[in-house]
Amino acid sequence: MRKTIILLVSIIISLNLYSNLYSNPILSSDKINSRIEVDTIYQQIDTLTITLLVYRPINARAEFTTTRPDSNDTRIKLSVAAAFTGKDLKSIMGKHIEKGIVKWGYKSIANGYVSIIDNKVSIRPIDLSLKSMQTKAIRKKGYIFQQMLLVHDSVLMDCKIFGERETYRRALAIIDNQPCVVESEQRMKINDFSASLIRMGINTAICLDMGTWSHGWIRTESENYIPIGKLTSSTKNQTNWLIFTD
């Protein structure tokens, strides 16, 4: 039997992990301004140690944008790639909505979507709810983008589009009813990454573009810019982003 031990270096205590907890927030939490709290999670499986980083926006507003974020804009506290970019390096996967405006991309292979309406972030499987959410997003000037669902109702959603390839992974997850970004510190198969999210106690998560598209950043309360991501050669070709702002 594989032995799994999970250690959390975190201030997100309500993940309900049966492990030892050590408080070590990277960013201060004594202000009410928008900020990003960063947590490190270690999962020990036999002789393998998996390290995951959790970026948790506090008092921030989520947006999906097709305008390249300005790294000098101190309003932006977290920026990561969102939906897949097409082979033409111009189009975005699937029908997407930005500030209530519908935009069409290349044929979607996604089985899930993210909606941001009235600053509420939801992750859902693509089903009959998508059309009604699209209508609502248009009316409310919200946002929707499509991606590969990784975890739904605490069940791993088999993701076959990456095959057995190992690379760095990133996901948008709902933790304590709030959107958080989780990324791996080592190369992983996509289903192994999804399994690691479930071991954290996460019951809803969706893929964010990663691999060589992994460039992003967080901004500290002192407005310092900290880049995140490891493989960034495709950064110049990125077409869309998930950002969290003041």
Domain count, the chain: 1
**Is the pLDDT confidence value at 31 over 70?**
no
Domain membership flag for residue 154: yes
In terms of Cβ atoms closer than 10 Å to its own Cβ (0-12, 13-18, 19+), residue 2 is exposed
Domain that holds residue 148: 53-245
Render pLDDT for 127-173 as a digit per residue (tens, 0 to 9).
988 999 999 999 999 999 999 999 999 999 999 999 999 999 999 99
Where is pLDDT greater, at 12 or 146?
146
The reported pLDDT for the residue numbered 7 is 57
Residue 148, number of CB atoms within 10 A of its CB? 23
Domain membership flag for residue 112: yes
Domain membership flag for residue 213: yes
pTM of the model: 0.87
Domain membership flag for residue 148: yes
Domain membership flag for residue 205: yes
Domain membership flag for residue 211: yes
Domain membership flag for residue 24: no
H helices of the chain, in order, are: 129-140, 190-199
The reported pLDDT for the residue numbered 11 is 35
The reported pLDDT for the residue numbered 65 is 98
Domain membership flag for residue 21: no
The confidence band for 224, taking pLDDT boundaries of 50, 70 and 90, is: confident
Distance CA 183, CA 95 (A): 26
**Is the pLDDT confidence value at 3 over 80?**
no
Q: Per-residue DSSP letters for 22-65?
A: E---SS--SSSS-EEEEEEEEEEETTEEEEEEEEEEES-EEEEE
**Is the pLDDT confidence value at 19 over 50?**
no
Where is pLDDT greater, at 171 or 14?
171
**Is the pLDDT confidence value at 26 over 50?**
no
Render pLDDT for 85-123 as a digit per residue (tens, 0 to 9).
999 999 999 999 999 999 999 999 999 999 999 999 999
Give me the residues paired with residue 49 across strands: 44
The reported pLDDT for the residue numbered 21 is 28
Q: Give me 7's structure tokens.
A: 């250690």
